[in-house]
């Protein structure tokens, strides 16, 4: 990545700014803030084992889950970076009970955008040195600029997203994002702290040979999911498929987008509404999936058409190569 002929993320943002129909420079500054925060989080993730910031923080988040120390740190880093740039009027995070109102020092409440994020997805894997990530989603506010941000600014369907992306902190650190004109990936050169375009125009293949699901929960899965897994494991045609599951959504999604596959986190008898969060995980990943030619649903309907009713709403999640998702949906319908 040291080859300076690569296009940097900063150059790419400037070049593509005019492609964005609401372009005023704000969105580019917002994405630049995420770029900066990701570098700081990357530094903390990479020194976690020697900096006493692995393990539990001794607190629970709104979902009743134990917060990891790095969850809290990453959340603070992204909130600080987005707040200081004065480009968002509100932030909602998986780690916070309620949304955060951001008041600009100079132009109180005038910012047009809100950000929803999972600051450190898969953070329980930090202790065992497995890849983790950040997921973010950007919407234009629906309330009147100049007034305080409202809950309805965050409870928007996924189809209203103007940008979404993720950062994967793995063997290399990458930002992958879209503003509605395809999906592009940028890899961090840690020697100079610059992201370079490494994966232009990322696309899901129409089908694939990987299925990703926590099969340890098999007994709790709906009948349609069980039947689809049997189908994946049959020796017929290009099957059986290969099972690959990391347990970090960003990592599993990233691999499947590059190699072709399906990721499933279904409802279970213990979690009948699903486990993943619609606003912080499913909508942004669905946006990227569709921009990359894939498909995303809850097993029956398009994820981005689901009407949110609460900040921390959960849904079942099927996403990836379109043929594979459609086949899984077929099994779900037939099992009803």
Of residues 121, 126, 172, the one with CA closest to residue 284: 121
**pLDDT score at 147:** 87
Residue 63 has what pLDDT? 55
Average pLDDT per run of 10 along the chain, which is 336 residues long? 68 80 75 95 78 48 60 93 89 95 71 94 79 96 91 98 96 95 95 95 98 97 98 96 96 97 97 96 98 98 98 98 98 96
For position 34, what pLDDT does the model report? 96
DSSP E strands in the chain: the ranges are 56-60, 66-68, 88-93, 100-101, 113-121, 132-140, 161-169, 173-178, 184-189, 194-199, 210-212, 242-243, 261-265, 276-277, 295-297, 314-315, 317-320
**Does residue 4 lie within any of the structural domains?**
no
Domain boundary among the residues 143, 176, 199 is at 199
What pLDDT, on the 0 to 100 scale, is given for residue 67? 56
Q: Judge whether 94 is annotated as a binding position.
A: yes
- Tell me, yes or no, whether 176 and 255 share the same domain: no
My answer on whether 66 and 187 are in the same domain is yes
In a shared domain, residues 140 and 247: no
| pLDDT of 126 | 73
Three-state DSSP at 288 gives: helix
Q: What is the distance between the alpha carbons of residues 220 and 270, in angstroms, rounded to a whole number?
A: 7
- Number of domains composing the chain: 2
Q: Would you say 120 is a known binding-site residue?
A: yes
278 is in an annotated binding site: no
**Residue 281 marked as a ligand binder:** yes
221 inside domain: yes
Measuring CA to CA, which residue among 164, 126, 197, 179 is closest to residue 16? Answer: 179
The answer to whether 122 is annotated as binding is yes
Indicate whether 272 and 217 sit together in one domain.
yes
Which pLDDT does position 100 carry in this prediction? 95
Provide the CB-side half-sphere exposure for 164 (13 A, CA). Answer: 28
211 is in an annotated binding site: no
Q: Residue 24: its pLDDT value, please? A: 63
In sequence order, the 6+-apart residues with CB closer than 8 A to the CB of 327 are 228, 231
pLDDT for position 259:
97
Q: Is residue 20 domain-shared with residue 108, that is, in the same domain?
A: yes
The CATH number of the domain holding residue 272 is 3.40.190.80
On whether both 31 and 160 belong to a single domain, the answer is yes
Tell me if 204 is assigned to some domain: no
Q: Is 118 flagged in the annotation as binding?
A: yes
pLDDT at position 57, please? 43
Based on the domain organization, do 218 and 192 belong to the same domain? no
- Tell me if 134 sits within 8 A of 99, measured CB to CB: no
Domain of residue 61, CATH code: 3.30.540.10
125 in a known ligand binding site: no
Is there a contact between 125 and 247 (Cβ–Cβ < 8 Å)? Answer: yes
Do 59 and 156 sit in the same domain of this protein? yes
Range of the domain at 257: 210-334
């Amino acid at each position: 990545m040291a080859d300076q002929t690569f296009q940097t993320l900063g150059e790419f943002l400037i070049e593509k700014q005019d492609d964005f129909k609401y372009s005023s420079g704000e969105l580019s500054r917002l994405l630049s803030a995420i770029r900066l925060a990701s570098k700081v989080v990357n530094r903390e993730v990479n020194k976690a084992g020697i900096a006493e910031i692995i393990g539990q923080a001794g607190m629970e988040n709104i979902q009743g889950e134990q917060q990891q120390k790095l969850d809290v740190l990453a959340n603070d880093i992204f909130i600080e970076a987005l707040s200081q740039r004065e480009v968002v009027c509100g932030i909602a995070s998986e780690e916070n009970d309620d949304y955060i109102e951001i008041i600009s020092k100079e132009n109180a409440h005038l910012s047009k955008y809100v950000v929803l994020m999972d600051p450190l997805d898969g953070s329980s894997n930090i202790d065992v040195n497995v890849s983790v990530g950040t997921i973010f989603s950007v919407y234009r506010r629906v309330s009147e600029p100049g007034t305080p941000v409202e809950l309805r600014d965050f409870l928007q369907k996924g189809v209203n997203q103007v940008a979404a992306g993720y950062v994967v902190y793995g063997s290399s650190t990458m930002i992958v994002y879209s503003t509605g004109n395809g999906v592009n990936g940028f890899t961090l050169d840690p020697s100079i702290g610059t992201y370079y375009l490494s994966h232009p125009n990322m696309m899901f293949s129409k089908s694939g040979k990987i299925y990703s699901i926590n099969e340890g929960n098999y007994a709790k899965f709906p009948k349609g999911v069980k039947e689809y897994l049997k189908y994946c494991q049959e020796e017929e045609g290009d099957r059986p498929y290969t099972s690959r599951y990391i347990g970090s959504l960003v990592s599993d999604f990233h691999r499947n987008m590059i190699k072709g596959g399906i990721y499933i986190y279904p409802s279970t008898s213990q979690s009948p509404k699903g486990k993943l969060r619609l606003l912080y995980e499913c909508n942004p990943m669905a946006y990227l999936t569709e921009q990359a030619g894939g498909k995303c649903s809850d097993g029956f309907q398009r994820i981005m058409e689901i009407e949110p009713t609460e900040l921390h709403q959960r849904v079942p999640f099927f996403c990836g190569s379109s043929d594979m998702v459609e086949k899984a949906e077929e099994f779900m319908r037939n099992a009803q």
